[in-house]
C-alpha cells in the first residue's frame, strides 16, 4: 500500500505564501536569492515528494485495475439464479470428496465460516434420511479445482430483501486467473449435472413462493401410470390427447393460436383425479406446478404472473376450482385484494398469446357449480368425468393387491367376486370410491376378509 502523503496543492500554497513576501516588487536578482531561502527549499522539496507519491499512488491504482482486468476473471452468481443452490451443493460435495481422499484440499476444510444445509433424501424403500451438508458460509474461501486456485466470496445483503419472497440477496463471486477462464462453464455444468442427477427419474413438485415457482419438498418417486386404475378407455384417451397436443406445437404456431391446453377432471373425491395427473406427469417426464387459488395473498395480478412464468416441462394443477370462488372477495383498506376473483382467474387462464407451452389441469368435485365461462374451449379443452369404482376397476385394483404376478389372475376367482360385489352394489345405486377400496385392501391382508368388508360397505 502507498502511505498517505501531503496533498501537493497544499505544499505549493505553503511554498508560495513563504516565497511571495520575499519576491514581491523585487528585482530578478533578489528573487533568485530567494531560492536560497531554506523555507522555500523545504516547500519545494515537499511538493516534489507529494508529486512523486501521488504519481505512485495513481500508478498503483492503474496497476491494480489493469491486473484485475487482464489477469483475473470473475463470475458472479446471485441467489435468484438457479445455479446458486447448485453451486453451493457442488462446493460442499467437492470438499467432502477431497477430505475422503485425505488431500485436505477441500475449501470447506480450510474455511472457518461454514453454514449448515439440511437435506432429506428419499431412499429406495421410500423412507427418508436426513443429511447435513456443510456449505461455505459468508466470507472468503479458497479452493483448487483441476489444479487451479479459485477464490470464492459469498456475500449476503441483509438490508435489501428480494421482492415477495422476503429472502435476503446473496451472491457468490468466483475469481481466478484469466488464462483459466474456460474452467467456469465446466465447473457450472458439473454443478448442474450433480443437481439434476438427484431429480432423475423423479417428479419435482413446485409451488409459488412469492411470485416465483420453487420446488416444494423433495423430488418424489414417480407413481407408475398403470397403478392408477381408471374406467375402461379413460386413461388411454387422456394420455393420447396430451401426447398429441405435445406433438402439435408447430401446428399451433402456424395458426397463431396460443399453444396451450386445459383439462378438467370432475367427479367424486377419491376417484384418482389427482393421482392420475401426477402419474401422467411422471410418465411424460414432466413436473407439476401446484396452484392453490385459495392461498392467502394470492391476488389476480400474482396469479396472472405465475401462470405466465410456469417452468418448462411442467403441468399446472389447480385443484377444487369450484371452491375457490364461493368465498367473499376480501379487499383490505389500501385496496389490495388478497384473493383471486373469478374474472381474474379467467383472464389469467387466457393470458397473453405466446408460443410458450402451457398445460393446465383443473379438478373439481362439483362441475355443476362451475361457471360455463370457465369451461369454454381455450380455457378447458378436454373434460372428463372420473367416477367411483366400476366393477372392472375394482377387480384390477384387487388383483394388484392380492395376486402375485407369478400367480396370474386366473389362479383365483376372488377377482370375479369383487367384480360381482361392486356390480351388484351399482344396481342398488350403492357405490364405493377407489380410495375407499384401496383403504380396504390396505387394512385387510387376507383377500377373503377384504371381500367380506367390501360387502358390508355396500
Under the rule (CB under 6 A), what is the footprint of ligand ADP? Answer: 228-230, 269-275, 397, 434-435, 438
Residue 385 carries which DSSP code? E
In the list ligand ADP, Mg ion, none, the entry touching 275 (Cβ below 5 to 8 angstroms by class) is: ligand ADP
Q: Please classify residue 199 by burial: count the beta carbons closer than 10 Å to its beta carbon, then call 0-12 exposed, 13-18 middle and 19+ buried.
A: middle
What's the closest the beta carbon of residue 81 comes to Mg ion, in angstroms? 34
**Would you say 269 or 408 has its CB closer to ligand ADP?**
269
**Would you say 180 or 239 has its CB closer to ligand ADP?**
239
E-only strand ranges, 255-380: 260-266, 287-291, 314-318, 358-364
Encoded one letter per residue, x for contact with Mg ion by CB under 5 A and - for no contact, window 220-259 reads: ----------------------------------------
What's the closest the beta carbon of residue 274 comes to Mg ion, in angstroms? 3
> 3-state DSSP call for residue 36?
coil
d(CA 61, CA 135): 35
What's the closest the beta carbon of residue 439 comes to Mg ion, in angstroms? 15
Cβ proximity of 264 and 186 under 8 Å: no
**Would you say 104 or 269 has its CB closer to Mg ion?**
269
Which listed range, 45-53, 138-146, 154-162, 267-275, lies at the site for Mg ion (CB under 5 A)? 267-275
**Would you say 277 or 451 has its CB closer to Mg ion?**
277
Cell of 269: 373425491
**Would you say 43 or 270 has its CB closer to ligand ADP?**
270
**Would you say 94 or 271 has its CB closer to ligand ADP?**
271
Residue 271 touching Mg ion (CB under 5 A): no
Enumerate the H helices of 72-131 as residue ranges: 83-100, 107-110
31-49 as b/e: b if 16+ CB within 10 A:
eeebeeeeebeebbebbee
Residue 274 touching Mg ion (CB under 5 A): yes
**Would you say 272 or 299 has its CB closer to Mg ion?**
272
d(CA 414, CA 409): 9
**Would you say 133 or 274 has its CB closer to Mg ion?**
274
Residue 287 touching Mg ion (CB under 5 A): no
In the list Mg ion, ligand ADP, none, the entry touching 450 (Cβ below 5 to 8 angstroms by class) is: none
CA nearest neighbour of 103 among 143, 141, 137, 138: 143
Which listed range, 209-217, 236-244, 271-279, 346-354, lies at the site for Mg ion (CB under 5 A)? 271-279
Determine the size of the site formed for Mg ion (CB under 5 A).
Answer: 2
Q: Minimal CB distance to ligand ADP: which residue? A: 272
What's the closest the beta carbon of residue 440 comes to ligand ADP, in angstroms? 11
What's the closest the beta carbon of residue 207 comes to Mg ion, in angstroms? 16
Interacting residues of 421 by C-beta distance below 8 A, sequence separation 6+: 394, 451, 454, 455, 458
**Would you say 260 or 273 has its CB closer to ligand ADP?**
273
Cβ proximity of 206 and 289 under 8 Å: yes
In the list Mg ion, ligand ADP, none, the entry touching 229 (Cβ below 5 to 8 angstroms by class) is: ligand ADP
What's the closest the beta carbon of residue 324 comes to Mg ion, in angstroms? 14
**Would you say 273 or 302 has its CB closer to ligand ADP?**
273
170-184 as b/e: b if 16+ CB within 10 A:
bbbebbbeeebeebb
In the list ligand ADP, Mg ion, none, the entry touching 272 (Cβ below 5 to 8 angstroms by class) is: ligand ADP
What's the closest the beta carbon of residue 444 comes to ligand ADP, in angstroms? 16
Residue 393 touching Mg ion (CB under 5 A): no
CA nearest neighbour of 68 among 187, 173, 185: 173
Helical (H) or strand (E) element with 417: helix 414-427
In the list ligand ADP, Mg ion, none, the entry touching 228 (Cβ below 5 to 8 angstroms by class) is: ligand ADP
What's the closest the beta carbon of residue 398 comes to ligand ADP, in angstroms? 11
Cell of 409: 389372475
Cell of 90: 457442488
290 φ, ψ (degrees, to nearest 5): -90, 130
Q: What is the largest CA-CA distance in the chain?
A: 133
Per CB under 5 A, residues contacting Mg ion are: 273-274
Amino acid at each position: 500500500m502507498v502511505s498517505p502523503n501531503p496533498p501537493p496543492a497544499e505544499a505549493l500554497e505553503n511554498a508560495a505564501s513563504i516565497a511571495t513576501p520575499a519576491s514581491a516588487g523585487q528585482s530578478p536578482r533578489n528573487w533568485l536569492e530567494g531560492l536560497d531561502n531554506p523555507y522555500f527549499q523545504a516547500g519545494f522539496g515537499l511538493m516534489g515528494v507529494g508529486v512523486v507519491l501521488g504519481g505512485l499512488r495513481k500508478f498503483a491504482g492503474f496497476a491494480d485495475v489493469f491486473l484485475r482486468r487482464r489477469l483475473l476473471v470473475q463470475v458472479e452468481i446471485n441467489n435468484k439464479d438457479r445455479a446458486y443452490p447448485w453451486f453451493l451443493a457442488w462446493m460442499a460435495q467437492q470438499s467432502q470428496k477431497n477430505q475422503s481422499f485425505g488431500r485436505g484440499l477441500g475449501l470447506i476444510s480450510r474455511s472457518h465460516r461454514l453454514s449448515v444445509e439440511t437435506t432429506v433424501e428419499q431412499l429406495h424403500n421410500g423412507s427418508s434420511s436426513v443429511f447435513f451438508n456443510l456449505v461455505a458460509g459468508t466470507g472468503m474461501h479458497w479452493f483448487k479445482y483441476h489444479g487451479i486456485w479459485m477464490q470464492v466470496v459469498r456475500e449476503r445483503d441483509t438490508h435489501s430483501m428480494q421482492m415477495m419472497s422476503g429472502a435476503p440477496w446473496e451472491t457468490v463471486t468466483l475469481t481466478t486467473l484469466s488464462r483459466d477462464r474456460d474452467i467456469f462453464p465446466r465447473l457450472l455444468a458439473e454443478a448442474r449435472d450433480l443437481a439434476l442427477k438427484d431429480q432423475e427419474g423423479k417428479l419435482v413438485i413446485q409451488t409459488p413462493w412469492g411470485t416465483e415457482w420453487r420446488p416444494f419438498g423433495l423430488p418424489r418417486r414417480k407413481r407408475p401410470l398403470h397403478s392408477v386404475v381408471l374406467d375402461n378407455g379413460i386413461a388411454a384417451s387422456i394420455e393420447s390427447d396430451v401426447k398429441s397436443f405435445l406433438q402439435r406445437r408447430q401446428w399451433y404456431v402456424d395458426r397463431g393460436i396460443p399453444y396451450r391446453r386445459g383439462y378438467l377432471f370432475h367427479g367424486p373425491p377419491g376417484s384418482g383425479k389427482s393421482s392420475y395427473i401426477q402419474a401422467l406427469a411422471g410418465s411424460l417426464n414432466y413436473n407439476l406446478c401446484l396452484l392453490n387459488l385459495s392461498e392467502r395473498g394470492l391476488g389476480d395480478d400474482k396469479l396472472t404472473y405465475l401462470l405466465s412464468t410456469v417452468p418448462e416441462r411442467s403441468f399446472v394443477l389447480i385443484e377444487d376450482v369450484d371452491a375457490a370462488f364461493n368465498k367473499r372477495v376480501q379487499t383490505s383498506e389500501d385496496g389490495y385484494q388478497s384473493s383471486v376473483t373469478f374474472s381474474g382467474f379467467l383472464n389469467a387462464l387466457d393470458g397473453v398469446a405466446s408460443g410458450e407451452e402451457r398445460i393446465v389441469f383443473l379438478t373439481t368435485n362439483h362441475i355443476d357449480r362451475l361457471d360455463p365461462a370457465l369451461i369454454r374451449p381455450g380455457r378447458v379443452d378436454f373434460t372428463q368425468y372420473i367416477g367411483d369404482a366400476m366393477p372392472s376397476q375394482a377387480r384390477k385394483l384387487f388383483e394388484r393387491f392380492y395376486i402375485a404376478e407369478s400367480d396370474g389372475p386366473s389362479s383365483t376367482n376372488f377377482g370375479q367376486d369383487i367384480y360381482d360385489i361392486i356390480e351388484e352394489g351399482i344396481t342398488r345405486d350403492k357405490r364405493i370410491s377407489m380410495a375407499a377400496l384401496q383403504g380396504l385392501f390396505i387394512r385387510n391382508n387376507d383377500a377373503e376378509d377384504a371381500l367380506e368388508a367390501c360387502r358390508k360397505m355396500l
